[in-house]
Amino acid sequence: MTKPRVGVVFRPQSPPEELRAAALGAEAAGIDELWLWEDCFSEGGLTSAAAALAWTSRITVGVGLLPVPLRNPALAAMEIATLARVFPGRFQPVLGHGVLDWMAQVGARAASPMTLLREYTTAVRALLHGETVTVDGRYVHLDAVALDWPPAQVPPLVVGARGPKTIALAGEFGDGVLLDAPETGPLEPSAVRAVVETVNSAAAAVGRPAPQVVSFVEVDPARADLADAVAGVLTQYGESGVTSVVFQAPGAAPDPAALVAALAP
């Protein structure tokens, strides 16, 4: 069993001016990853990631996730490439459907979210790898688009997923899958193993290596057995094949400080 990387979430229920302290605290504690959300209508994911990366020197900063209806894929590739060049090896982008009701609220909801995600992920991944992309899909339309500054170290392009179809898409077209945290608590180990098997099988079917599997886990930081609880989740998820376990506090009390303290090596 490979020991999974450990992360914490700075939830969008916290105001953006608290991000600096959270990022510095997580890095000082030796946490591997700091994760942000791009919820409508809270902090911008890429602007927050840029700030967190600039304030720190070691920790990986992920955005889970960037809703694909909100940005043209060429713009998304430009922004991801810029962060990947300025902070090589430290930025982890995730693409996903977004909350469909929010997408409708801003006039961006797609009739076929799966088609959009497939076209979008394929285009952004190709652009990040320095390809010139021409495509006339149902949603993505690019005419000989290429980045002037593709990153020398391309970050894995992870896909956020819940349902089996999107999980399989993550293995086929992405470099990994991000699993959201259910409000009922950590997923059962059997459910996690099933996700790992699905995404690995989808990748193998197209000749690609085993993808990353990043899983958010919500844990109440007020519980008396917090250290034992996070240790147990890390063991179970690691045995299930998860590569990163990312802990978050509940939305009603989003401060990650207690989780950081419990996770510090």
CATH of the domain at 73: 3.20.20.30
* pLDDT for residue 189: 82
pLDDT in tens, 162-175: 899 999 999 999 99
Structural domains counted in the chain? 1
pTM (two decimals): 0.96
pLDDT in tens, 225-236: 999 999 999 999
CA–CA distances in Å: residue 20 to residues 16, 27, 153: 8, 11, 26
Domain span at 191? 5-263
Report how far residue 104's alpha carbon sits from residue 101's, in angstroms, rounded to the nearest whole number: 5
Which pLDDT band holds residue 136 (cuts at 50, 70, 90)?
very high
Report how far residue 61's alpha carbon sits from residue 40's, in angstroms, rounded to the nearest whole number: 20
Does 33 have pLDDT greater than 80?
yes
Report how far residue 148's alpha carbon sits from residue 143's, in angstroms, rounded to the nearest whole number: 15
The CA-based dihedral angle spanning residues 204, 33, 40, 211, taken in that order and rounded to the nearest 10 degrees: 0
* pLDDT for residue 187: 82
pLDDT in tens, 193-223: 999 999 999 999 999 999 999 999 999 999 9
- Inter-residue contact 69 to 103 (CB < 8 Å): yes
- Measure the CA angle with vertex 31, ends 28 and 154; round to 5°: 110
Does 183 have pLDDT greater than 70?
no
* pLDDT for residue 186: 81
* pLDDT for residue 188: 85
Is the bond leading into 247 cis (omega within 30 degrees of zero)? no
**DSSP string for 87-102:** STT-EEEEEE---HHH
Does 185 have pLDDT greater than 80?
no
Report how far residue 27's alpha carbon sits from residue 129's, in angstroms, rounded to the nearest whole number: 29
Report how far residue 257's alpha carbon sits from residue 24's, in angstroms, rounded to the nearest whole number: 11
Q: What is the DSSP letter of 144?
A: E
* pLDDT for residue 194: 93
DSSP H or E stretch at residue 179: strand 176-179
CA 50 from centre of chain: 15
Which pLDDT band holds residue 1 (cuts at 50, 70, 90)?
low
